[in-house]
Amino acid sequence: MFLWFAGLGFLAVVLVFRSPALDYRMVILGSILPLVDVATGLAGAPPVLHTLLAPVVVLTAVMLLTRNRRLIRRRWLGIPIGLFMHLVLDGTWSTTELFWWPAFGLEWPDVALPTLGRGPAGVVMELVGLAVIVWCWRRFGLDDPERREVFVREGRLDRELVG
């Protein structure tokens, strides 16, 4: 499930923050980054990116490393925001032991990642993600070469279309 997280994570953050200056490329990256856990989980690695700890640590790092650098902070804040969006869209919060790790002990819980247990609903969710991406493409004017270039180069959306 890739499009579900990229599309809905992007749209939710645009609708909540309504910021033309936020780097939405980083939001998209952050919202799909926990899918690394799916790949590395096959090798036995723990799903750290599906815990609340991961976005909190990344957010703290961004805030500390970008003190007095407002423009750099604005760019990198998209990653922890996207990580939080993934947790919401994946329903990770409903798996208490995984979501709150290591609050209840350092032992990794023996639970499946929510991303893997979707079955046929996962296909429907991907189609919804695709529909959201197509809608966003049109709604935010990304069919216009100039607007698309700004989005690709800087991650920004047109101020008129966001607010």
Write the DSSP assignment of the chain as a string of letters. --HHHHHHHHHHHHHHH--SSS-HHHHHHHHHTTHHHHHHHTTT---GGGSTHHHHHHHHHHHHHTTT-HHHHHHHTHHHHHHHHHHHHHTGGGSHHHHTTTTT-SSPP----GGGG-THHHHHHHHHHHHHHHHHHHHTTTTSHHHHHHHHHH----HHHH-
pLDDT at residue 114, rounded to an integer: 80
* pLDDT average, residue stretch 44-65: 93
pLDDT at residue 3, rounded to an integer: 97
pLDDT at residue 85, rounded to an integer: 97
Distance (Å, rounded) from C-alpha 146 to C-alpha 161?
14
pLDDT at position 115 over 80: no
pLDDT at residue 39, rounded to an integer: 81
pLDDT at position 110 over 90: no
* pLDDT average, residue stretch 124-148: 96
Residue spans per domain, the chain: 3-162
pLDDT at residue 132, rounded to an integer: 98
pLDDT at position 88 over 70: yes
